[in-house]
Amino acid sequence: MSYVRIDTPAASHIFEVETIEEALAGFARAAGYGSFAELAGTLGETVEKAQADLSIEHVTAADIIRDIADEAAKADVIEGGAEEPFRSVASWVRWCVEGSDGDAVRDLAKLHGLDLRPLLDALEDELGKVELSDINAPFGGPDAQRVAAISDDILAAVQESILGGSELESWTGGNAIDAYAEGSDWAEEIKWPALREAVAARIDADLAEMRADQA
């Protein structure tokens, strides 16, 4: 998808076209003229002079929605209505697209007469670059119940491995997380450093008790 943005001192105009000439024609029609040459003539200028007075550039869908994506990335999710930390970047992206950030893109598409889907796709791509730890930062420390649930899930797998012949001494909270993260329902959220640290500490404590019981 190709776009051209034309900026005037008063406003920005975005056109879903391939060439600057097509964008200028659309700009003229929006102003009530049959062509850009007619518009320039009304202003008493040549086409070249009238065009030079405008800021014109080719842009991408990502360029068009970047300010919206940047604001979403900087926003406090608690102030935005989130009640608990997000478990994945994808879940936060869906929340943004279904909420006010997606509404801003929908309004932008409607204002300029643009196809909505490429812009929403671009918004999802840009938001997907944000780190989960940054998204969840306003929540502070991780939820204790979630720490317990993930730790119990991992510890059960470690115990099964030990019964299968692995050495208890070989396990730590960190390597247990790494061993069982792939394919789990917590694989994405465990990338949040605060959550990983809390889960690893809990597993280490449980492993220490297991070693004490064996002594």
| Nearest one of 63, 100, 97 to 81, comparing CA atoms | 100
In this prediction the pTM is 0.73
The confidence score (pLDDT) of residue 191 equals 87
The confidence score (pLDDT) of residue 16 equals 96
Task: Please report which helix (H) or strand (E) contains residue 14, including its range.
Answer: strand 12-15
Residue 214 has pLDDT above 90, yes or no: no
Residues 109-126 pLDDT 10s = 999 999 999 999 999 999
Res. 160 pLDDT band, cuts 50 70 90: very high
Domain count, the chain: 3
HSE of 107, CA atoms in CB hemisphere, 13 A: 7
Residue 22 has pLDDT above 90, yes or no: yes
Q: Are residues 98 and 121 in the same domain?
A: yes
- Mean pLDDT taken over the chain: 94
Q: Are residues 67 and 116 in the same domain?
A: yes
Q: Are residues 55 and 68 in the same domain?
A: no
Residues 174-196 pLDDT 10s = 999 999 999 999 998 898 888 99
Q: Are residues 81 and 129 in the same domain?
A: yes
Q: Are residues 47 and 70 in the same domain?
A: no
The confidence score (pLDDT) of residue 213 equals 86
Res. 1 pLDDT band, cuts 50 70 90: confident
Query: What residues form DSSP beta bridges with 59?
Result: 3
The confidence score (pLDDT) of residue 145 equals 92
Residues 25-44 pLDDT 10s = 999 999 999 999 999 999 89
Q: Kindly provide the b/e burial profile for residues 128-155, where b requires at least 16 CB atoms within 10 angstroms of the residue's own CB.
A: eebebeebbeebeebeeebbeebbeebb
Q: What is the mean pLDDT of residues 145-156?
A: 95
User: 138, 166, 192 — which closes off a domain?
Assistant: 138
Q: Are residues 51 and 96 in the same domain?
A: no
On whether the CB atoms of residues 68 and 93 are closer than 8 A, the answer is no
Q: Are residues 158 and 121 in the same domain?
A: no
CA distance 98 to 75: 15
The confidence score (pLDDT) of residue 133 equals 84
Q: What's the domain range around 205?
A: 144-214
User: 39, 59, 79 — which closes off a domain?
Assistant: 59
Q: Are residues 156 and 174 in the same domain?
A: yes
